[in-house]
């Protein structure tokens, strides 16, 4: 006796068949409409010309429908009704490698079931480039934007550690969840929220670890804090300390990628926000203090009692555009119509 396919596979196959049937019906309808529209012109056209015109229009329709069908099937495969949703808030700023970084991240996120991505641009407006990227990524998303105040923007040559980054963008994401959670969540009381950078590296196992967090879950981060890894030291009964060298007196000496929290924790502390005025390096500790009422007792060790590194604080190398600058000096540039 053959092995029965899983309900997940049955759902995907059924979705594909339904979409295929819909495609055929739409093509038939379009063919009929084209016949009516061009009826007055057919008297002056040869049969060969009429066939060429119809074939061209049907070909264009197929091209337009193909990506829609693919995305619809993909999203159906990744929706599991009984699984809590993970919401990631990602700040992103304009730079030459922005779309390259987002594309790499997108191909990780496409594998995560029940996932919603809040991408927040550091911009006065939502840019067309990022809008086009999100439309073709294939992940459920919300696209927001807010500009970082000038006084918080790094000056040319200023060290990265001098100012906090992504504060306004992450806070806007939190405000959006509090105001619109019912619109993006099947169960507004069951979800995990994660601050995700657009240039870090993530194992898919990390999202399995965080999905059922009760309040705040913690894990180590690779290549962070000037160490091979930085993060909590854990025993079976909870977090007993932290592996860090810079200001170990912080209550929660954590990297932003080293924790996630439940939407219930946010609902219990709706005023919790990242504070751009705190001393550098205390941004995460300040936020966790608000969610955990200044107590380490409620922290939940994840990733094999904090023994597994499932996220790495990687950074994309700054693009070398020396030749582009030489072109600019001559009043020229690489073709801007080719989007990078």
Cα separation values, 114 from 60, 192, 197, 248, 293, Å: 33, 11, 19, 36, 30
- Plot region of 114 (φ>0 → left; ψ -120 to 50 → alpha; else → beta): left
What is the DSSP code string of 250-279? SSS---GGGEEEEHHHHHHSTT----TTSP
Active site residue 150: no
What's the 3-state SS for 120-148?
EECCCCCCHHHHHHHHHHCCCEEEEECCC
Strand partners, 232: 242
Tokens of 131: 């809008």
Which residue of the set 284, 297, 317, 324 is catalytic?
284
Contact 216, 285 (CB under 8 A): no
Would you please indicate which residues are annotated as catalytic (active-site) residues? 284
């Amino acid at each position: 006796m053959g092995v029965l396919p899983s309900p997940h596979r049955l759902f995907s196959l059924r979705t594909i068949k339904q979409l295929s049937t819909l495609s055929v019906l739409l093509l038939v309808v379009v063919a009929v409409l084209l016949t009516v529209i061009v009826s007055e012109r057919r008297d002056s056209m040869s049969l060969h010309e009429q066939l060429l015109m119809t074939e061209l229009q049907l070909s264009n329709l197929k091209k337009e429908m193909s990506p829609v069908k693919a995305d619809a099937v993909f999203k159906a495969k990744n929706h599991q009704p009984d699984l809590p949703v993970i919401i990631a808030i990602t700040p992103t700023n304009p730079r030459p490698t922005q779309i390259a970084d987002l594309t790499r991240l997108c191909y990780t996120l496409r594998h995560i079931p029940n996932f919603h991505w809040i991408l927040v641009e550091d911009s006065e407006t939502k840019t067309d480039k990022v809008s086009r990227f999100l439309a073709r990524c294939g992940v459920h998303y919300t696209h927001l934007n807010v500009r970082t105040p000038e006084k918080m923007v790094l000056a040319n040559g200023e060290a990265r550690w001098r100012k906090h980054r992504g504060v306004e963008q992450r806070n806007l994401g939190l405000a959006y969840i509090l105001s619109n959670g019912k619109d993006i969540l099947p169960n507004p009381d069951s979800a995990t929220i994660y601050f995700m950078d657009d240039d870090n590296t993530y194992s898919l196992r990390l999202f399995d670890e965080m999905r059922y967090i009760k309040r705040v879950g913690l894990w180590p981060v690779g290549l962070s804090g000037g160490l091979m890894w930085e993060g909590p030291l854990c025993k079976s009964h909870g977090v007993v300390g932290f592996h860090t060298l810079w200001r170990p007196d912080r209550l929660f000496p954590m990297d932003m990628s080293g924790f996630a929290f439940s939407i219930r924790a946010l609902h219990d502390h709706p005023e919790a926000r990242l504070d751009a005025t705190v001393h550098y390096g205390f941004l995460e500790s300040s936020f966790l203090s608000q969610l955990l009422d200044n107590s380490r007792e409620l922290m939940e060790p994840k990733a094999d009692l904090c023994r597994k590194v499932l996220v790495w604080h990687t950074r994309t190398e700054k693009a070398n555009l020396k030749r582009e600058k030489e072109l600019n000096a001559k009043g020229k540039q690489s073709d801007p119509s080719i989007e990078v």
